[in-house]
């Protein structure tokens, strides 16, 4: 069984992945950008080439 992704900033279980400019991070609820918090599990959102947000689905964690 694969290990759950961890937040790159604090080590808690990650709820999603965010790419802002050159920063690529798995993040927990406390460190997630508001765009990730607004997504439903499994949803992705991008703005141009520099901003990408993905909320992990139930099977991803």
pLDDT tier at 60, thresholds 50, 70, 90: low
Residue labelled with tokens 């790159």 = 8
d(CA 22, CA 46): 14
Partner residues linked to 58 by β-bridges: none
pLDDT tier at 2, thresholds 50, 70, 90: confident
Task: Provide the token pair at 22.
Answer: 């050159």
Residue 58 pLDDT greater than 80, yes or no:
no
Instruction: Encode pLDDT of 5-56 as tens digits.
Output: 999 999 999 999 999 888 899 999 999 999 999 999 999 999 988 899 999 9
pLDDT tier at 61, thresholds 50, 70, 90: very low
């Amino acid at each position: 069984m694969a290990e759950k992704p961890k937040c790159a900033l604090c080590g808690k279980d990650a709820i999603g992945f965010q790419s802002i400019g050159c920063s690529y991070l798995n993040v927990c609820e406390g460190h997630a950008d508001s765009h990730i918090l607004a997504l439903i599990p499994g949803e992705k959102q991008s703005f141009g080439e520099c901003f990408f947000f993905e909320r992990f689905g139930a099977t991803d964690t």
